[in-house]
Structure 1
C-alpha cells in the first residue's frame, strides 16, 4: 500500500465525499477515485459504498480505517526521526489551538517563534479544544494548546500553563444586573448563553451546578466565546466568560459582572502532545518556548 492511496482513503472517510476529499488534498476528483481504486485492488476489498451522493465505509473500510491512520503516523514518525538527525529546526509544524487561546494567549509566543525559526512552516489550525484533542490522538496534530479536559486520555502528555478564571456576566440592563448577591439557584431561573454541551468548559459549568442539584436553561450556544460575549451584551442571557476577556466591557459598563454566591470557576489551559509520537525538532523548539512561558506564569502544577 502506498501512502498517497492511504491519504486519499482517509480523506474520503473523514469527509464522506470524494469531491471534498479532492479539495482537501488539492487533487482532482478522478485522481482521488483512481487512488481509492488502486487501494481496493491491493486489499481485494471494496472500501466504500457509493449510493447516490452518499459515500460510506464498508465493513472492510471500517477495518482498514484505524490501521491506515497508524501506518501514516508511523511513516511520519520515521521521517521526523530521520530529519531530526540533522539538528535543523525546519520543516513543518502542525499546531492546533482554540480561538480564544489563539487570540488572547498565543500571539506573542508565535511571534517570537517564527522570528527565531523562519525555516519552519507553521500550520496553525483553529479548532475546538475537543477536536484538537482528537487530532493529537489520531496523529494529525503534533501540538495542541487548548482548554484541558478534567480527565485526559492517558496516551497524552498534558502540561497546564495558565488558569483561566471565569466570571458570571450579563447585559447592564439585564434583570440580574439589578440584584445584589445572587445564589446559583436564582441564576438558573434565568436563560443563559453558554458554550456547546460537548465542550470542556460547558461540562465544567454543568458539573458545578449539578453539585447543587441545579440545571441551567441554555437558549443559545456556540463554541466561540467572542460570540457569547456579544450575545450576553445584547441581553440574550447571562454567561460565564474569562475575566481577561470581558474586563474592558465591564469597565465600559456594557456588561455587568454578577455577584454570585459560589466559589470561583476556573479552567486550566495548556498544551498536549502524544506520548508515543516522535516530535520534530520544530515541535521540540515550540515546546521549549511554551515551557518558558509556563515557568514565567509561576504555575507549579505537576505534569499529568
Structure 2
C-alpha cells in the first residue's frame, strides 16, 4: 500500500496540486498516477484529496500523511545500512555520562560530531552527573559509558575502569573575603564560620557523598560548577576548586589561593563502561582515550596528573 512509488506519487500530486504535472515529473501517465492515488485512498478508507476540474487539494488527512511521507522515505532508504550496522555490533543508541568536573561544552560538541560521522545511525545521549551520581548512572540508569568515574577501582564487577589520572585541588577565596587577610595556614576554627559552597551529589540509589564540609559548618548547595565558581568570586563562601580550573582565575586576581591545615588530597578519575553492553561505539570511545586523541583533550584539562 505504501511502497516507495506510491509515496512518491502521492507527494508529487500534493506538491503540484495536479495529476498531469505530477505524472510528467514521474514519467508516468496521468491515468496511472490517478489510479495509484485512488487505490491508496481505498486502502486507507480515507479521502486524501479533494478534486476539481482544474486541480486537487489535500484534505486534513492528506496533510497529515504528507507530513509523514518524507520520514518514511528516509527510513526505507537508510534501513539497510542501519540493519548492517546492528549486525556488526554497533549500538542503536549510546548513553554517556560525564562527571561535572570534566564536563566541557566544546569537548562534548567535538565528541558528538565525531560519533555522528562514524556511526550515523546511532542515537546519542550525553548528560552530566556529580560525584557518586556518575557511578549511579552506570549501574542503575542504563548508561553505557562514563567519563570521570570517581576512583581507580571498580565498585561493581559489571563495570570496567581505565584510569585517566588525578585532579589536584586549590582552596580558594574571593580577594575581599574576610579570610583573605589572615596568615596561613588557615585553621579549621577559622574556616568553620564561613559557608562551604558544594555541588550536590546527583546519586539516587548510591549513598551521596559531600566533597568538603567541616563539622558545624554551614553548607550552600549549588547545581553546577559554574555556579560554584561564581559564588566563590562573589565572596559568598569558601571551598576547593580543581587546581587547573582555578589557576587562570587566580592569575587574573579574581580569586586567591590559601593554604589550609586540612588540605584535600588529589581525586583519582577514570573512564568506566558496562562490560555486558560494550559494543562498537563504546569501544571506539575507549580507543580515543587509549590513543590520547585530540577529540577528548577537552575532557582532560582539569586533570593535572594524567595517567600514563
TM-score > 0.5 by shorter chain: yes
**1:274 deviation in Å?**
2.0
The equivalent residue for 2:23 is none
Partners of 2:132 and 2:209 within 8 A in 1: no
Partners of 1:84 and 1:281 within 8 A in 2: no
- 1:1-304 superposed matches below 5 A: 85-86=87-88, 91-103=92-104, 106-107=107-108, 110=111, 113-114=114-115, 117-119=118-120, 120-138=122-140, 140-149=142-151, 152-155=154-157, 156-185=159-188, 186-196=190-200, 203=210, 205=212, 215=215, 217-263=217-263, 265-275=265-275, 277-293=276-292, 299-300=307-308
Moved over 6 A (4+): 197-201
For 2:154 and 2:91, the matched residues in 1 are separated by 30
Partners of 2:98 and 2:146 within 8 A in 1: yes
**1:232 deviation in Å?**
1.0
For 1:264 and 1:131, the matched residues in 2 are separated by 20
TM-score (norm 1): 0.58
TM-score (norm 2): 0.57
For 1:151 and 1:86, the matched residues in 2 are separated by 31
**1:188 deviation in Å?**
2.9
Q: What secondary structure, in the 3-state scheme, does the structure 2 residue paired with 1:254 have?
A: coil
Q: Which runs of 5+ in 2 are unaligned?
A: 1-83, 298-304
The equivalent residue for 1:78 is none
Deviation readout 1:65-106 (Å, 9 max, x if unpaired)? xxxxxxxxxxxxxxxxx966526x574321111333121794
Q: Which runs of 5+ in 1 are unaligned?
A: 1-81, 207-213
| Cα distance change on mapping 1:127 and 1:191 into 2, 3 Å | closer
For 1:249 and 1:105, the matched residues in 2 are separated by 20
Partners of 1:165 and 1:267 within 8 A in 2: yes
For 2:114 and 2:149, the matched residues in 1 are separated by 21
Aligned length: 210
| Cα distance change on mapping 1:175 and 1:134 into 2, 3 Å | same
Partners of 1:195 and 1:201 within 8 A in 2: no
